[in-house]
Structure formats: C-alpha cells, structure tokens
Chain A
Amino acid sequence: MSFVNYHTKEINCKIVYYGPGLGGKTTNIQYIYQKTSSNNKGQMITLNTENERTLFFDFLPLDLGEIRGFKTRFHLYTVPGQVFYEASRKLILRGVDGLVFVADSQVERMEANLESLNGLQKNLLDQGYDISKVPMVMQWNKRDLPNIVPVEDLQYQLNKLKLPAFEAVATNGTGVFETLKMISKSVLLNIKGGLE
C-alpha cells in the first residue's frame, strides 16, 4: 500500500516485477539502475544464489522528482522466479502498489508464463488483493529471440484483463522505461487520499 506523507509531501510506492524464472525481471531493474542518474537512485540490493539467480529479491529505490509538489519515490522489487521460491514471492507482494508481469516470449516458456501468472493471482488473493484491481502492466520480453510466440497469442493467453502491454528486449533496454513509465502512472493514479 502506497505511503503518502502530506507534511513532507512525499509519495512512496512499491512496484514488483513478477514472472517466470529467467524471464528478465532482474535485467529490467539492472537496466533502469544503469540508466538512472546517481542523484535519483539509491543502492541496488540483490540477494542472489551462487549462480546469479535471484534468491529472495532485488531492490532498487528510485527518487524521480516531483509531481504536483509531491516528491515521488518508487521502490522497485523483483521476485525470485524459480518455482520453489513460492513462499518468498508471497512475502514480497505484501504492500504492493503495482505489478509488472515480465513474460518470456519464447514458445517453450509459455507454460512457465501461465504457471507464474496463475501463481501471482493466487498469491495476491492470499494477501487480500484482487488481481483485477491492482495496477498492472504486461511486458513481452525477449522479442529479439528467434523462437517467439506472436504478440496476438501472448495477448490471448496471458492478457485476459486487457492490461497495457509492451514488447521488450530488456538486455538492450527496449521497452524497459516504457513499461516502468506506464506502471508508475497507473500506480500514481491509484493512490487513495485526496489533496487537502
């Protein structure tokens, strides 16, 4: 749940990158970290296994600037994608304000995408969230690879809620900031609490 401090005029929001293992969640965050000026980012935290897979979460705090007098601070998290880290994924969803579902476009990863999306729905429900009410953006990642599912099929199979969706190649930054910008806007528009 976002935190608005009316006295210091600060907004804090939590955005979680969710999706199957090796789909590119960490790569998204790393690209954002590389391309953000040092004045606007904090320390990036990665809790990895020995072979560079996410063990608990990645974390990147971003201080972007002001919107209508409010300082905006986004906390970006990724979840571990591997199936057996379900308990960790559930914890990281606590207090989530917005979600980016990073799908792997490769044909052989469609089943993993569906499994992850179903898991997300269940985990959100366990935390008291309705997936249709949480701001969310879909990202079709790895569009540069040869054996990929057409976007229409991804939309049909994974985007029943007709959420905003972006094609991406996170390794070179394509679609990364477009995705972040869209989820940030959705999250800001969803913050409860009118101006005094």
Chain B
Amino acid sequence: MKSVNGIIKNIIDPKLKSINARLFVTRNDGITIYDSTEDETTSSVSALVSGVWQASEALMGLVGKNNNLFDYRLGFDTSSEGIYLFSFEFDGKSYCCGAIYKDCLNPGLLKRQVMMLKSDLETIDVPFKKNKDTSKRDGFLFTDITDEEMDNLFTLGGK
C-alpha cells in the first residue's frame, strides 16, 4: 500500500515539467504532504497556507454557509507572480493544494494547469481506498516511553 504522500507525489511530480511553479499540498492542520521544493521553508509554507485557507473558509462561512468550499480558489497575485490555492478531498479528508510562481508570462495558463491538477487529485480517492489496510494499526503507536527516551529526544534538539 502506498502512503498518501507517495500517491500525491506520483500525481504531481510528472506535472512539474509543464507547470513552472512551486507546487505543494498541505493538510488543513498545516502538516506538509508534498512540496516540490523541499527546503527550510517547507513547514512554514504549509502552516501559513493552512492558516490563510482556514481564515478564508471562515470568512466565507460568515456570509454563505451553504456554499461548497471545494469550489473555491484563492489567489494573491500580481500580473507575474503570486500564490494560487484550492482545496480538494481525498480519503474523506480535506487538503489544500497550491502553486507559488514568479516571473510568469501567462499566469492565466498556469492557473488553468493548476486547476487541471485538482481534477487529477480528486480522482485518486477510489483506488486508494481499495488498497488501504490499517487493520494492524489499532491501538496506540507507543504503549510506553521512558523519561530517558524523552531526554535523548530533547538532547538532539540542542537543549
């Protein structure tokens, strides 16, 4: 069985040649699922994207509670650079996908390409469910953790 990250990576990676932008997918709690430019800013990008998207959702909730939030797109751009976001549902959970682009000659085309990516991401739900097997993952991941293990974890952190 492939992980969510692996499945999404397999869908987005081939598109990177034609979409000249940083592409990413984040969970709505800000955890990174995919980033085409993995670097020290990856976690921050995910946290901020999640915050922006959730704040926008909440804003729309104030004025139109019956709207389908998966139909929305969010853009913050000039005529050549910006960020473009949309959300999609996968395995019953909602994710935010987006593109950050610079020096783009045709942002309209880029947005169109990104929206086509949304269609691809939304159609992976069924095969993923068929392969899913979590039967061996009932209960808790750790039944006990010693103080020594925690000390080691925090020693690595530089404390």
Contact = CB atoms under 8 A, between A and B. Distances in A.
A154 interface: no
Contacts of A1: 29
Contacts of B71: none
B145 to A, nearest CB: 6
B158 A8 contact: no
B54 A91 contact: yes
Interface stretch (B100-108, B111-119, B123-131, B134-142): B134-142
Secondary structure at the A interface, as helix, strand, loop or mixed, is mixed
A153 interface: no
Interface residues of A, number: 56
Contact of B158 (A37, A45, A67, A195): A37
Nearest to A57: B51
B36 interface: no
A191 B141 contact: yes
Contact of B145 (A7, A57, A61, A185): A185
A146 interface: no
Interface string A162-196: 00000000000000010011001100111111111
B158 A35 contact: yes
B150 A191 contact: no
Contacts of A40: 156-158
A196 B32 CA distance: 23
Contacts of A56: 51, 55
A94 interface: yes
A184 B145 CA distance: 11
Contacts of A65: 152-153, 156-157
Contacts of A39: 158
Nearest to B33: A3
B141 A95 contact: no
A137 to B, nearest CB: 13
B48 A45 contact: yes
5 contacts: A12-B31, A40-B158, A77-B30, A189-B142, A196-B136
Give the top 3 A-B pairs by smallest Cβ distance, nearest first: A95-B29, A37-B158, A65-B156
Given A64-B156, A67-B145, 15 more contacts: A3-B31, A6-B3, A7-B5, A39-B158, A41-B157, A43-B40, A59-B48, A68-B142, A75-B31, A75-B43, A91-B51, A92-B51, A184-B154, A193-B134, A194-B139
